[in-house]
Amino acid sequence: MGEMVTLEHVEKYFSIGGGFLKKNARSVKAVDDVSFTIQEGEIVGLVGESGSGKTTLARALLRLTKLTGGKVCINGIDISKAGRKEMEQIHREVAVVFQDPAANLNPRQTVESSIMRPMIIHGVPRARAREKAREVMAMVKMDERYLESYPHQLSGGQLQRIAIARALALEPKIMILDEPTSALDISVQAQILNLLLDLQEQLHLTYLVITHDLNVIKYISDKIAVMYLGKLVEFGPVEEIAEHPKHPYTKGLMDAAPILNPRLRGRKKEVMTGDPGSLIHMGEGCHFCPRCKYAQEDCKKTVPPMISVGTDHEAACLHPLKD
pLDDT at residue 263 greater than cutoff 80: no
- What share of the chain in percent tops pLDDT 70? 92
- Chain segment 201-231, per-residue pLDDT in tens: 999 999 999 988 888 899 999 999 999 999 9
Q: For strands 3-16 and 69-74, give the pairing.
A: antiparallel
Buried b (16+ CB within 10 A) or exposed e, 35-61: ebebeebbbbbbbbbebbbbbbbbebb
Task: Report long-range pairs for 77-82 (Cβ below 8 Å, ≥24 apart).
Answer: none
Poorest-pLDDT segment among 264-268, 286-290, 311-315: 264-268
Res 321 pLDDT > 80: yes
CA-closest candidate to residue 43, choices 180, 167, 207: 207
User: What global pTM score does this model have?
Assistant: 0.91
Is pLDDT at 256 greater than 70 in this prediction?
yes
pLDDT at 20: 54
Can you tell me whether residue 213 is helix, strand or coil?
coil
Please write the tens of the pLDDT for every residue from 126-148.
999 999 999 999 999 999 999 99
pLDDT of residue 104: 76
Model pLDDT, residue 181: 86
Q: What percent of the chain has pLDDT over 90?
A: 68
Q: Where are the beta strands (DSSP E) in 218-301?
A: 223-228, 231-237
Q: Is the pLDDT of residue 265 over 60?
A: no
The stretch 259-287 carries a mean pLDDT of: 69
In the predicted structure, residue 306 carries a pLDDT above the cut 70: yes
Residues with Cβ within 8 Å of 151's Cβ and at least 6 positions away in sequence, in order, are 102, 105, 106, 107, 111, 114, 159, 162
Confidence label for 186 from pLDDT (cuts 50, 70 and 90): confident
